[in-house]
């Protein structure tokens, strides 16, 4: 297979990987930055560690590099509108005009009604192709009582609720 064919097949394969949409945020004060992402992965449970992948051209990248902290806000069906906003419909601080945003003790933007928010400290960074992989040790977590993640699969929204 050619490189182009592999890259196209890879994109199609990844469209079949259903995952929760997250808003990854960082910054302090008036320098908040954020982006919508599905490239979030649990690495270890002890200590709790996760990995995020951020394009080096994204506005979030230099903010995470400087602060060495980030927050992963897992989205719910009620956050559908935020995905477009954090995917480029708005820029910079305007992204935080929608949603229930508060500052953590460290100054990070935290979505108050997220399915879960994980505040992390960067312990390692690896550059791969056009992206940086930030490995973060989880410092604090806020879990929402309702588990209803907003899912992204095949370029579309889906949802998954746990019913008792």
What is the percent of the chain with per-residue pLDDT over 90, rounded to a whole number? 80
pLDDT at 1: 81
Token pair belonging to 104: 């953590």
Per-residue pLDDT at 16? 84
Residue 108 pLDDT > 80: yes
State the Cα angle at 111 between 109 and 114, rounded to 5°.
150
pLDDT at 164 > cutoff 70? no
CB 147 within 8 A of CB 18: no
Digit-coded pLDDT (tens) for 49-85: 999 999 999 999 999 999 999 999 999 999 999 999 9
In eight-state DSSP terms, residue 76 is B
Quick one: pLDDT band at residue 36, thresholds 50, 70, 90?
very high
- d(CA 75, CA 60) in angstroms, rounded, equals 18
* Residues 118, 116: Cα–Cα separation, whole Å: 7
Q: Is the pLDDT of residue 115 over 90?
A: yes
Give me the pLDDT at residue 17, please: 86
Task: Domains for the chain: give ranges and CATH numbers.
Answer: 20-153 (2.30.110.10)
Residues 6+ apart with CB under 8 A from 27: 33, 63, 67, 107, 108, 109
DSSP string, 83-126: HHIIIIIS-GGGGGGSS-EEE-TTS-EEETT-SEEEEEEEEEEE
Q: If you average pLDDT over every residue of the chain, what do you get? A: 93
Helix (H) or strand (E) holding 82: helix 80-84
Assign 39 to helix, strand or coil.
coil
CA 83 to chain centre: 10
């Amino acid at each position: 297979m050619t490189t182009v064919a592999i890259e196209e097949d890879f994109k199609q394969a990844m469209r079949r990987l259903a995952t929760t949409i997250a808003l990854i945020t960082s910054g302090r004060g008036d320098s908040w930055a954020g982006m919508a992402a599905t490239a979030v992965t649990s690495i270890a449970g002890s200590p709790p560690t996760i990995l995020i992948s951020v394009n080096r051209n994204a506005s979030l990248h230099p903010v995470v590099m400087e602060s060495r902290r980030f927050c992963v806000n897992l989205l719910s069906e009620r956050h559908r509108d935020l995905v477009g906003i954090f995917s480029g419909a708005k820029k910079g601080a305007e992204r935080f005009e929608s949603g229930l945003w508060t500052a953590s003790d460290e100054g990070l933007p935290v979505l108050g009604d997220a399915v879960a928010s994980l505040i992390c400290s960067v312990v390692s960074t690896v550059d791969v192709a056009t992206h940086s992989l930030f490995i973060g040790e989880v410092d604090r977590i806020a879990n929402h009582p309702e588990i209803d993640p907003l899912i992204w699969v095949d370029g579309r929204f889906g949802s998954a609720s746990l019913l008792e």
